[in-house]
Structure 1
Amino acid sequence: MIGAVTGLVAEARIAARLVALVDAGGGGAAGAAIAAQRLVGRGASGLISFGLAGGLDPALMPGTILIPPLVLLDGVAWQAHPKMTAALGGPTPGAIYGGGEVVAGVMAKAALHARTGAVAVDLESAAVAQVAARHELPFAVLRVICDPAGRDLPPAALVALDAAGQIGAWRVAMSILGRPSQVPALIALGRDAALARRALVTRVQAIGRL
């Protein structure tokens, strides 16, 4: 059985259409590692890092599907399993960077792209790759661009998630009260996130059950 690690509960609902085992790690590297380890304990024979990603390559727009052959972190590279990658419809060009924290600003995204060559970034893929390597299991990545390289993430997006991978409405509300000027950016992010989720659903429907 293949297991999928997501950051958000909303992503986990989509991933459940693809694989039998799903665990939401709460939108962070540490949580993703714990989620991946839980999936191994439940008998997963391979792991997929699944969900949204931030764009580093300016050419990648919201809704772009990524099935990268490589995951990067701090000078280390993990190769996704070729057969699993092909089963997802990949590979797509470029690597994904599995950072430990959100890369929120346009300048920070550009700097990471220039330094690593990665085309996108997320919080879970490196953690999933590390757990897979430790247990000698194959892994792959299925991600979709949500926030593009040319857009800053609004402050509310950085505090919205709780440890269970749910969006806390009160956290968002408090952030908006403190900085109401971010509302247009939040609306744009919500629109792009909805587009990204639709793209994931479409890809999962095309793949079928693994």
Structure 2
Amino acid sequence: MRTVLAVSGMSFESRIAAGPGVETLHGYRDAALARALEARLARDYAGVISFGVAGGLDPTLPPGTVIVATGVRAGAESFSTDPFWTAALRRAMPNAICGLLAGSDTAVTAVADKAALHEAHGALAVDMESHIAARVARAHGVPFVALRVVVDPADRPVPPLAVAGMAADGSTDIGAILIGLAKAPHHLGGLLRLGRDASAAKAALVSARKALGEGLAQPATALA
């Protein structure tokens, strides 16, 4: 059976995505992610899925909202998702919200920046991997889709220490967070709120993964 490649930013997202018919890639950003994807797509994958959490842009979407992307927008670039695989995702998760995702090379943390990005293209959420995965998949002629779950809502900023705690390898740098808290203890409240939001997002991501089953609902994997 051909496998699909699940692309994520953080290690916990990859652990959730992993399973029969699925290989994972995480811990890369920007050009490094593009290079890693180029190397992996030298192999014969049935498709590429961007899988994980995202920052909310639509103010109506609470943490834990599952989004099946109809496309990805990054600046002037637009990427379509594979219609057949997207339809399969929607059948597996009929309560998911469908719409546009935004891709960004940098973390979008301020409420004003989230609002501007939502107003520009109507994107529901933003992440730092989907646009890169879509770009490389398109270059290789490989089907691409994206499934993301809102973690931080549009009306709430991401605490600076949360960004500082994102290690380059996709893990959480607890040491960096503790050092930051020692210097700026007033950020503790924001981190605790984000922790609650993250718990809701992780639970929704796990539920979505179970609903998708083997091969993350990719139609070709079922036929291989």
Q: TM-score range by the shorter chain?
A: over 0.9
For the pair 1:171 / 2:173, whether they are aligned, the reply is no
Where 2:126 maps in the other structure, the secondary structure is strand
Distance in structure 2 (CA, Å) of the matches to 1:83 and 1:7: 25
Distance in structure 2 (CA, Å) of the matches to 1:18 and 1:97: 29
Distance in structure 1 (CA, Å) of the matches to 2:61 and 2:208: 17
Aligned pairs, number: 209
TM-score (norm 1): 0.94
Where 2:167 maps in the other structure, the secondary structure is coil
> How far has the Cα of 1:173 moved from its partner?
1.1
- Pair 141,195 (structure 1): closer, same or farther in 2 beyond 3 Å: same
TM-score (norm 2): 0.88
Give the aligned partner of residue 130 of structure 1.
135
Write out aligned runs for 1:29-68 (5 A): 29-68=30-69
> How far has the Cα of 1:124 moved from its partner?
0.3
Aligned structure 1 segments of 4 or more residues deviating by more than 6 angstroms: none
> How far has the Cα of 1:75 moved from its partner?
1.7
> How far has the Cα of 1:119 moved from its partner?
1.2
Write out aligned runs for 1:153-172 (5 A): 153-172=158-177
Structure 1: tracts of 5 or more residues without a match: none
CA RMSD in angstroms, aligned pairs only: 1.6
**Greater Cα offset, 87-96 or 128-137:** 87-96
Structure 2: tracts of 5 or more residues without a match: 216-224
The percent of aligned pairs where both chains have the same amino acid is 39
**Greater Cα offset, 79-88 or 16-25:** 16-25
Q: Is the 8 A contact 1:60 1:145 kept in 2?
A: yes
Q: Give the AA of the match of 2:76.
A: G
Distance in structure 2 (CA, Å) of the matches to 1:63 and 1:166: 21
Q: Is the 8 A contact 2:65 2:97 kept in 1?
A: no
**Greater Cα offset, 93-102 or 120-129:** 93-102
